[in-house]
Protein backbone atom coordinates (compact mmCIF):
# COMPACT_ATOMS: atom_id res chain seq x y z
CA UNK A 1 0.00 0.00 0.00
CA UNK A 2 3.06 2.18 0.06
CA UNK A 3 2.67 2.69 -3.71
CA UNK A 4 0.25 5.08 -5.35
CA UNK A 5 -2.05 2.15 -6.08
CA UNK A 6 -4.91 2.05 -3.59
CA UNK A 7 -6.81 -1.07 -2.64
CA UNK A 8 -9.78 -0.19 -0.47
CA UNK A 9 -11.73 -3.00 1.17
CA UNK A 10 -14.99 -2.39 3.05
CA UNK A 11 -14.79 -2.34 6.85
CA UNK A 12 -10.99 -2.50 6.70
CA UNK A 13 -9.39 0.10 8.97
CA UNK A 14 -6.70 2.31 7.38
CA UNK A 15 -4.32 4.82 8.87
CA UNK A 16 -2.72 7.68 7.02
CA UNK A 17 -0.13 10.40 7.66
CA UNK A 18 1.06 13.24 5.46
CA UNK A 19 3.87 15.73 6.09
CA UNK A 20 3.59 19.51 5.83
CA UNK A 21 6.21 21.86 4.45
CA UNK A 22 6.79 23.51 7.83
CA UNK A 23 5.15 23.83 11.28
CA UNK A 24 1.85 25.28 10.11
CA UNK A 25 -0.38 23.24 12.43
CA UNK A 26 0.84 25.12 15.51
CA UNK A 27 -1.82 27.18 17.23
CA UNK A 28 -1.40 29.94 19.80
CA UNK A 29 -3.55 33.08 20.34
CA UNK A 30 -0.55 35.43 20.00
CA UNK A 31 0.29 33.92 16.61
CA UNK A 32 -2.90 35.16 15.00
CA UNK A 33 -1.85 37.60 12.26
CA UNK A 34 -5.02 39.68 12.01
CA UNK A 35 -7.16 39.51 15.14
CA UNK A 36 -5.07 38.14 18.03
CA UNK A 37 -8.00 38.54 20.43
CA UNK A 38 -10.31 36.35 18.36
CA UNK A 39 -9.01 32.95 19.40
CA UNK A 40 -10.89 29.73 20.02
CA UNK A 41 -10.55 30.42 23.75
CA UNK A 42 -13.18 33.12 23.26
CA UNK A 43 -16.61 31.64 22.43
CA UNK A 44 -17.83 32.93 19.10
CA UNK A 45 -21.29 33.72 20.44
CA UNK A 46 -19.69 36.04 23.00
CA UNK A 47 -18.34 38.32 20.26
CA UNK A 48 -20.18 41.45 19.20
CA UNK A 49 -21.57 40.23 15.91
CA UNK A 50 -23.25 43.59 15.22
CA UNK A 51 -19.99 45.39 14.46
CA UNK A 52 -17.75 44.96 11.42
CA UNK A 53 -15.24 42.59 12.99
CA UNK A 54 -14.89 39.47 10.86
CA UNK A 55 -14.28 36.39 13.01
CA UNK A 56 -10.92 34.77 12.35
CA UNK A 57 -10.65 31.00 12.69
CA UNK A 58 -7.73 29.39 14.50
CA UNK A 59 -5.92 26.37 13.07
CA UNK A 60 -7.82 24.09 15.44
CA UNK A 61 -11.17 25.42 14.26
CA UNK A 62 -10.06 25.38 10.63
CA UNK A 63 -9.10 21.71 10.81
CA UNK A 64 -12.28 20.70 12.66
CA UNK A 65 -14.62 22.52 10.28
CA UNK A 66 -12.73 21.21 7.23
CA UNK A 67 -13.16 17.62 8.38
CA UNK A 68 -16.83 18.19 9.15
CA UNK A 69 -17.52 19.70 5.73
CA UNK A 70 -15.68 16.86 3.98
CA UNK A 71 -17.62 14.25 5.97
CA UNK A 72 -20.90 15.91 5.07
CA UNK A 73 -20.17 15.78 1.34
CA UNK A 74 -18.30 12.46 1.32
CA UNK A 75 -19.39 10.29 4.28
CA UNK A 76 -16.82 7.80 5.57
CA UNK A 77 -16.16 6.24 8.97
CA UNK A 78 -13.55 8.48 10.58
CA UNK A 79 -12.18 6.79 13.71
CA UNK A 80 -9.75 9.48 14.88
CA UNK A 81 -7.87 12.56 13.75
CA UNK A 82 -4.81 13.92 15.54
CA UNK A 83 -2.33 16.63 14.57
CA UNK A 84 1.33 16.81 15.39
CA UNK A 85 3.32 19.95 14.66
CA UNK A 86 3.86 19.08 11.00
CA UNK A 87 1.66 16.09 10.15
CA UNK A 88 -1.81 14.69 10.81
CA UNK A 89 -2.68 11.13 11.84
CA UNK A 90 -5.95 9.92 10.31
CA UNK A 91 -7.72 6.61 10.84
CA UNK A 92 -10.76 5.61 8.81
CA UNK A 93 -12.73 2.84 7.14
CA UNK A 94 -15.63 2.66 4.69
CA UNK A 95 -18.68 0.52 4.13
CA UNK A 96 -19.34 -0.97 0.69
CA UNK A 97 -21.62 2.00 -0.11
CA UNK A 98 -19.08 4.55 1.17
CA UNK A 99 -16.08 3.18 -0.73
CA UNK A 100 -16.44 5.59 -3.70
CA UNK A 101 -16.50 8.49 -1.19
CA UNK A 102 -13.00 7.97 0.22
CA UNK A 103 -10.96 9.78 -2.47
CA UNK A 104 -13.39 12.70 -2.31
CA UNK A 105 -13.23 12.87 1.48
CA UNK A 106 -9.43 12.89 1.60
CA UNK A 107 -9.15 15.36 -1.27
CA UNK A 108 -11.78 17.70 0.19
CA UNK A 109 -10.53 17.57 3.80
CA UNK A 110 -6.87 18.16 2.87
CA UNK A 111 -7.76 20.93 0.40
CA UNK A 112 -9.95 22.79 2.88
CA UNK A 113 -7.32 22.46 5.60
CA UNK A 114 -4.59 23.74 3.27
CA UNK A 115 -6.61 26.74 2.13
CA UNK A 116 -7.67 27.58 5.67
CA UNK A 117 -4.12 27.33 7.02
CA UNK A 118 -2.80 29.50 4.18
CA UNK A 119 -5.49 32.08 4.87
CA UNK A 120 -4.76 32.11 8.61
CA UNK A 121 -0.98 32.43 8.31
CA UNK A 122 -1.18 34.64 5.18
CA UNK A 123 0.99 32.22 3.24
CA UNK A 124 0.91 30.82 -0.31
CA UNK A 125 1.94 27.60 -1.96
CA UNK A 126 1.69 23.96 -0.96
CA UNK A 127 0.94 23.06 2.65
CA UNK A 128 1.58 19.34 2.32
CA UNK A 129 5.07 18.33 1.30
CA UNK A 130 4.45 14.88 -0.15
CA UNK A 131 1.82 12.25 -0.81
CA UNK A 132 0.09 10.57 2.10
CA UNK A 133 1.47 7.36 3.60
CA UNK A 134 -1.51 5.04 3.51
CA UNK A 135 -1.66 1.64 5.22
CA UNK A 136 -4.29 -0.94 6.24
CA UNK A 137 -4.54 -2.29 9.78
CA UNK A 138 -5.21 -5.93 8.97
CA UNK A 139 -6.55 -7.01 12.38
CA UNK A 140 -8.45 -5.47 15.30
CA UNK A 141 -5.45 -5.31 17.61
CA UNK A 142 -3.39 -3.46 15.01
CA UNK A 143 -6.25 -1.00 14.47
CA UNK A 144 -6.44 -0.33 18.21
CA UNK A 145 -2.66 0.10 18.42
CA UNK A 146 -2.63 2.67 15.60
CA UNK A 147 -5.58 4.52 17.13
CA UNK A 148 -3.71 5.01 20.41
CA UNK A 149 -0.45 5.69 18.53
CA UNK A 150 -2.09 8.59 16.71
CA UNK A 151 -3.78 10.02 19.80
CA UNK A 152 -0.54 9.93 21.84
CA UNK A 153 1.89 10.98 19.12
CA UNK A 154 2.62 14.36 20.74
CA UNK A 155 3.41 12.64 24.06
CA UNK A 156 5.79 10.11 22.51
CA UNK A 157 7.53 12.97 20.69
CA UNK A 158 8.02 14.74 24.06
CA UNK A 159 6.03 17.78 22.95
CA UNK A 160 3.69 17.58 25.96
CA UNK A 161 3.41 15.43 29.07
CA UNK A 162 -0.29 14.62 28.58
CA UNK A 163 -2.47 14.37 25.49
CA UNK A 164 -4.93 16.81 27.04
CA UNK A 165 -2.15 19.46 27.04
CA UNK A 166 -1.57 19.30 23.29
CA UNK A 167 -1.85 22.67 21.49
CA UNK A 168 -2.85 20.87 18.29
CA UNK A 169 -6.15 19.54 16.97
CA UNK A 170 -7.19 16.28 18.61
CA UNK A 171 -10.28 14.08 18.87
CA UNK A 172 -9.04 12.75 22.22
CA UNK A 173 -11.47 14.61 24.51
CA UNK A 174 -14.34 13.71 22.20
CA UNK A 175 -13.43 10.03 22.36
CA UNK A 176 -12.39 9.92 26.02
CA UNK A 177 -14.98 12.21 27.61
CA UNK A 178 -17.68 12.80 25.00
CA UNK A 179 -16.82 16.45 24.28
CA UNK A 180 -18.68 17.78 21.25
CA UNK A 181 -16.82 18.31 17.97
CA UNK A 182 -18.48 21.53 16.83
CA UNK A 183 -16.74 24.10 14.66
CA UNK A 184 -17.54 27.14 12.53
CA UNK A 185 -16.38 28.45 9.18
CA UNK A 186 -17.06 31.31 6.79
CA UNK A 187 -18.69 30.18 3.55
CA UNK A 188 -16.60 32.21 1.12
CA UNK A 189 -18.06 30.45 -1.90
CA UNK A 190 -21.64 31.44 -1.00
CA UNK A 191 -20.46 34.95 -0.16
CA UNK A 192 -18.87 35.52 -3.56
CA UNK A 193 -21.74 33.88 -5.45
CA UNK A 194 -24.07 36.34 -3.75
CA UNK A 195 -22.00 39.32 -4.87
CA UNK A 196 -19.08 39.52 -2.46
CA UNK A 197 -17.77 42.93 -1.49
CA UNK A 198 -19.22 44.42 -4.68
CA UNK A 199 -22.68 44.20 -3.15
CA UNK A 200 -23.47 47.13 -0.88
CA UNK A 201 -24.10 46.18 2.73
CA UNK A 202 -22.95 42.63 2.07
CA UNK A 203 -21.12 41.23 5.12
CA UNK A 204 -18.89 38.16 5.10
CA UNK A 205 -19.69 37.39 8.74
CA UNK A 206 -23.31 36.78 7.74
CA UNK A 207 -22.07 33.65 5.96
CA UNK A 208 -20.81 32.03 9.14
CA UNK A 209 -21.89 28.40 9.43
CA UNK A 210 -21.51 25.64 12.01
CA UNK A 211 -20.66 21.99 11.48
CA UNK A 212 -20.79 19.14 13.99
CA UNK A 213 -19.43 15.62 13.52
CA UNK A 214 -18.52 12.52 15.50
CA UNK A 215 -15.85 9.84 15.40
CA UNK A 216 -17.02 6.37 14.43
CA UNK A 217 -15.99 3.55 16.81
CA UNK A 218 -13.56 0.96 15.48
CA UNK A 219 -15.43 -2.01 13.94
CA UNK A 220 -14.59 -4.37 16.83
CA UNK A 221 -15.75 -1.75 19.35
CA UNK A 222 -19.01 -0.84 17.64
CA UNK A 223 -21.06 -2.97 20.04
CA UNK A 224 -19.34 -1.58 23.13
CA UNK A 225 -21.20 0.90 25.30
CA UNK A 226 -20.08 4.53 25.11
CA UNK A 227 -18.83 4.31 28.70
CA UNK A 228 -16.71 1.24 27.92
CA UNK A 229 -15.13 2.86 24.85
CA UNK A 230 -14.33 6.09 26.69
CA UNK A 231 -12.85 4.20 29.64
CA UNK A 232 -10.71 2.10 27.30
CA UNK A 233 -9.40 5.22 25.52
CA UNK A 234 -8.50 6.93 28.81
CA UNK A 235 -6.75 3.85 30.17
CA UNK A 236 -4.74 3.22 27.02
CA UNK A 237 -3.67 6.86 26.70
CA UNK A 238 -2.76 7.07 30.38
CA UNK A 239 -0.57 3.96 30.07
CA UNK A 240 1.36 5.58 27.21
CA UNK A 241 1.75 8.83 29.18
CA UNK A 242 3.15 6.96 32.20
CA UNK A 243 5.55 4.94 30.05
CA UNK A 244 6.78 8.05 28.23
CA UNK A 245 7.36 9.81 31.55
CA UNK A 246 9.46 6.89 32.83
CA UNK A 247 11.50 6.81 29.61
CA UNK A 248 12.19 10.55 29.87
CA UNK A 249 13.32 10.12 33.48
CA UNK A 250 15.73 7.34 32.53
CA UNK A 251 17.18 9.29 29.58
CA UNK A 252 17.24 12.66 31.35
CA UNK A 253 14.98 14.27 28.77
CA UNK A 254 12.08 16.64 29.40
CA UNK A 255 8.97 17.71 27.52
CA UNK A 256 9.09 20.79 25.35
CA UNK A 257 5.71 22.00 26.62
CA UNK A 258 3.00 24.33 25.34
CA UNK A 259 4.73 27.55 26.39
CA UNK A 260 7.88 26.87 24.37
CA UNK A 261 5.84 25.70 21.39
CA UNK A 262 3.82 28.92 21.53
CA UNK A 263 7.06 30.91 21.25
CA UNK A 264 7.92 29.32 17.91
CA UNK A 265 7.27 30.77 14.49
CA UNK A 266 4.92 28.36 12.69
CA UNK A 267 6.77 29.06 9.45
CA UNK A 268 9.98 27.57 10.86
CA UNK A 269 11.13 24.17 9.72
CA UNK A 270 12.72 21.59 12.01
CA UNK A 271 16.48 21.99 12.32
CA UNK A 272 16.97 18.22 12.26
CA UNK A 273 13.93 16.75 10.51
CA UNK A 274 13.28 13.08 11.09
CA UNK A 275 13.95 10.77 8.19
CA UNK A 276 11.11 8.46 7.32
CA UNK A 277 11.94 4.81 7.63
CA UNK A 278 10.98 2.06 5.25
CA UNK A 279 7.28 2.30 4.61
CA UNK A 280 5.40 -0.84 5.72
CA UNK A 281 2.89 -2.52 3.45
CA UNK A 282 0.43 -2.88 6.33
CA UNK A 283 0.11 -2.90 10.11
CA UNK A 284 -0.45 -6.26 11.79
CA UNK A 285 -0.19 -7.49 15.37
CA UNK A 286 1.29 -10.83 14.24
CA UNK A 287 3.91 -11.58 11.54
CA UNK A 288 1.68 -14.30 10.06
CA UNK A 289 -1.09 -11.77 9.44
CA UNK A 290 1.30 -9.43 7.67
CA UNK A 291 2.52 -12.32 5.52
CA UNK A 292 -1.05 -13.23 4.56
CA UNK A 293 -1.79 -9.66 3.55
CA UNK A 294 1.40 -9.47 1.49
CA UNK A 295 0.33 -12.53 -0.47
CA UNK A 296 -3.13 -11.04 -1.07
CA UNK A 297 -1.51 -7.77 -2.17
CA UNK A 298 0.62 -9.57 -4.76
CA UNK A 299 -2.45 -11.34 -6.13
CA UNK A 300 -4.21 -8.00 -6.32
CA UNK A 301 -1.31 -6.44 -8.24
CA UNK A 302 -1.27 -9.36 -10.69
CA UNK A 303 -4.81 -8.39 -11.65
CA UNK A 304 -4.53 -4.62 -11.34
CA UNK A 305 -1.37 -3.96 -13.38
CA UNK A 306 -2.60 -5.49 -16.67
CA UNK A 307 -6.02 -3.88 -16.18
CA UNK A 308 -4.34 -0.49 -15.74
CA UNK A 309 -2.21 -0.99 -18.84
CA UNK A 310 -5.24 -1.89 -20.95
CA UNK A 311 -7.22 1.06 -19.61
CA UNK A 312 -4.43 3.54 -20.38
CA UNK A 313 -4.22 2.06 -23.89
CA UNK A 314 -7.84 2.93 -24.59
CA UNK A 315 -9.69 -0.18 -23.44
CA UNK A 316 -12.07 1.80 -21.22
CA UNK A 317 -14.45 -1.08 -20.55
CA UNK A 318 -11.68 -3.03 -18.85
CA UNK A 319 -12.72 -4.48 -15.50
CA UNK A 320 -10.59 -3.68 -12.46
CA UNK A 321 -10.13 -5.72 -9.28
CA UNK A 322 -12.79 -5.07 -6.67
CA UNK A 323 -11.79 -2.24 -4.35
CA UNK A 324 -9.37 -0.54 -6.73
CA UNK A 325 -9.54 2.82 -8.49
CA UNK A 326 -8.89 3.43 -12.14
CA UNK A 327 -5.75 5.46 -12.92
CA UNK A 328 -6.14 9.03 -14.24
CA UNK A 329 -5.99 9.50 -17.98
CA UNK A 330 -3.53 12.02 -19.40
CA UNK A 331 -4.13 13.41 -22.85
CA UNK A 332 -1.08 14.54 -24.80
CA UNK A 333 -1.57 17.26 -27.38
CA UNK A 334 0.95 18.07 -30.11
CA UNK A 335 1.07 21.64 -31.36
CA UNK A 336 0.19 21.78 -35.05
CA UNK A 337 2.43 23.50 -37.57
CA UNK A 338 1.45 27.14 -38.29
Question: What DSSP character marks residue 196?
Answer: G
- 219 burial class (0-12, 13-18, 19+ CB within 10 angstroms)? middle
pLDDT computed for residue 262 by the predictor? 78
| pLDDT for the residue 68 | 97
Convert the pLDDT of each residue in 274-320 to its tens digit: 676 778 899 999 999 999 999 999 999 999 999 999 998 888 899 99
Query: What residues are paired with 92 via a beta bridge?
Result: 14, 78
Give the tens place of pLDDT for each residue, 221-254.
999 999 999 999 999 999 999 999 999 999 999 9
Q: Report DSSP letters for 201-253, one per residue.
A: T--GGGGEEEEEE-PPPPGGGTTS-HHHHHHHHHHHHHHHHHHHHHHHHHHT-
In Å, how far from its chain's centre is CA 234? 21
Supply the pLDDT for residue 335. Answer: 54
Q: Burial of 262 by CB count in 10 Å (0-12 exposed, 13-18 middle, 19+ buried)?
A: middle
Q: Minimal CA–CA distance to 80: which of 66, 93, 62, 95?
A: 93
| pTM, to two decimals | 0.86
Burial 64-84 (b: 16+ CB within 10 A, else e): bbbbbbbbeebbbbbbbbbbb
Predicted pLDDT of residue 4: 65
| 88-93 and 181-186 strand pairing | unpaired
**Selection from 172, 159, 182, 68 nearest residue 116 by Cα:** 68
CB contact at 8 A, 217 and 229: yes
Q: What is the pLDDT of residue 132?
A: 84
Which of 12, 51, 18 lies closest to 35, judged by CA? 51
Note the pLDDT of residue 119: 87
pLDDT of residue 273: 67
Q: What is the pLDDT of residue 37?
A: 38
The tens place of each residue's pLDDT in the chain, 338 residues long, gives 444 678 999 999 999 999 888 888 877 655 544 443 344 444 444 344 444 556 677 888 899 999 999 999 999 999 999 999 889 999 999 999 999 999 999 999 999 999 999 988 888 889 998 888 889 999 999 999 999 999 999 999 999 999 998 889 999 999 999 999 999 998 888 888 888 878 877 888 888 899 999 999 999 999 999 999 999 999 999 999 999 999 999 999 998 887 888 778 887 877 776 676 778 899 999 999 999 999 999 999 999 999 999 998 888 899 999 988 888 776 544 555 54
Looking at residue 295, what is its pLDDT? 96
- HEC string for 156-185: HCCCCCCHHHCCCCECHHHHHHCCCEEEEE
Per-residue pLDDT at 146: 96
Domains and CATH numbers, the chain: 13-285 (3.30.70.1290)
Nearest in space to 181 (alpha carbons), one of 203, 212, 148, 154: 212
Amino acid sequence: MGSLIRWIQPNQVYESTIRTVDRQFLFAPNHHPKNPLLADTCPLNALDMNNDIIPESSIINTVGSSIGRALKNYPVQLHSFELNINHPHEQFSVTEEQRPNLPGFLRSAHSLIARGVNRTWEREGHLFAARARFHPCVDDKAAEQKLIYGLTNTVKDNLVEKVSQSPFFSTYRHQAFGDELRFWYLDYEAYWVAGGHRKKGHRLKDYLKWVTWECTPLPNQAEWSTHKRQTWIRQQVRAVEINAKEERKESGRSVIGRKKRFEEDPRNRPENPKKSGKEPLCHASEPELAKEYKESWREFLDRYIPASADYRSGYFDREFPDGSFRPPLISVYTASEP
